Structure 1
Amino acid sequence: MKLNRLETYLVAHPWRHWLQARLEAPLLLSLFEGDVGPVPAALEIGCGFGQGIDIIRRRFGAMHVSAIDLDPQMVAAARARHPGCDWLDVRQGNACELAFADNSFDMVFDFAVLHHVPDWQRAVDEVARVLRPGGYFVIEDLYRAVICNPLSRRLFVHPQHNRFDHGDILRQLMLAGFEIVKARNLLQLAGMVLARKRTPNN
């Protein structure tokens, strides 16, 4: 689901970039034991204006980044933010139908995108498909209580059915073939999860 005008403005605002780089990225990195990277191939679902690509490249050490977004405007903006980068592939795409082969990526990132996806369970399954065994799914997202309330419904456009909380997303990840490495839950409002795709031996 595409963002409305207000949410597009908020996502593009410099404070959002600052918050993501200075607060969210260190918290996500702290989910890992020890150093992260280099990461040969990473994917971002719902890349927006492209600030997440910077974090994936610089903070997580991704050598090649693929990024998708449902909105062609966002795709154009992300490409314009990173012109002439041979390590980057940005394209229009749907998180529920990822146009990549099985076992293509070492790490996949969700920077608050799944709560925009009506069939978020299918998106989780798709992430599991394109991740290599042992690869990581790095998630930060908003939960049902934040998006299914009168104020949020008035200001933003989010799916209101089939929404999730912390327990829901952990259960779906495990059903899709992930093990939960570490998870943090902020009062059932938002959470961060590091999930690893199981290998054939576990």
Structure 2
Amino acid sequence: MKLNPFEKKLVQHPLRFWLQNHVEARLLTSMMPKPMPSCERALEIGCGFGNGIQLIREHFGAGHITAIDIDAEMVAAAQSRWQARPQGIKGLSFSVADATRLPFADSEFDIVFDFAVFHHIPDWQTAIKEVERVIKPNGYFVVEDLYRAAICNPLSRRLFEHPQQHRFNHSELLTVMRQTGFKIVCDRNVFNLAGMVLAQKVSG
């Protein structure tokens, strides 16, 4: 499900960028094994306006980043934003794609990122299966997302457009990830409103 106009304005606000780059990035990288594993090929699901690309480059050291979004407007905005930078789009690929039908080969990526996207996907379970398929054995899945209590309430329904059926909480997300073939390396739950998960694809 695409973002509504209000949420598009919200996610591109400078304060959102600041929080993602200075707060969320530190929390996410603190969950990774040390030293940081090699992340040559990365996939970001739901690239939005392209801020996640900066986080992945600066904090995870990805050599090549593939950024996708179901909304062609968002993909065009992210691509334009990065084309305007001095380094351009070297090492970046952009495409319009559905997370439940990823147009990539099996075991193509070292690491996949979900920065608050899966709560927008009606069939999020299938999206997790697709992520598991395209990650290399022993590769990582980095998740930061919102839960049922945060989006299935009167205020959220008034401001945003999120699927309301079959949403998940922290425990349910972890259960589906384990059933799909991931090992949970680290997880954080913020009052069952939001959470972070570092998962690793079980080899073989």
TM-score normalized with structure 1 length: 0.97
Deviations 1:109-138 (A, max 9, x none): 000000000000000000000000000000
| Equivalence for 1:121 | 125
**Aligned equivalents of 1:86 and 1:14: distance in 2?**
24
The answer as to whether partners of 2:79 and 2:89 remain within 8 angstroms in 1 is no
Amino acid in the other structure paired with 1:181:
V
The answer as to whether partners of 1:70 and 1:92 remain within 8 angstroms in 2 is yes
| Equivalence for 1:28 | 28
| Equivalence for 2:58 | 58
1:152 pairs with one of 151, 156, 166 = 156
The answer as to whether partners of 1:38 and 1:63 remain within 8 angstroms in 2 is no
2:172 pairs with one of 149, 168, 173 = 168
**Aligned equivalents of 2:137 and 2:38: distance in 1?**
17
Percent of matched pairs sharing the same residue: 56
What SS does the aligned partner of 2:67 have? strand
The answer as to whether partners of 1:21 and 1:55 remain within 8 angstroms in 2 is yes
The answer as to whether partners of 2:141 and 2:198 remain within 8 angstroms in 1 is yes
| Equivalence for 1:75 | 75
| Equivalence for 1:98 | 102
Amino acid in the other structure paired with 1:10:
L
Unaligned runs of 5+ in 2: none
Shift of 1:139: 0.3
Shift of 1:37: 4.5
The answer as to whether partners of 1:131 and 1:197 remain within 8 angstroms in 2 is yes
Amino acid in the other structure paired with 1:80:
S
**Aligned equivalents of 2:36 and 2:64: distance in 1?**
15
1:177 pairs with one of 181, 188, 200 = 181
Amino acid in the other structure paired with 2:39:
V
TM-score normalized with structure 2 length: 0.96
Deviations 1:76-130 (A, max 9, x none): 0110111142200011011101000000000000000000000000000000000
Amino acid in the other structure paired with 1:72:
A
Amino acid in the other structure paired with 2:152:
C
Q: How many residues align?
A: 200
Amino acid in the other structure paired with 1:157:
E
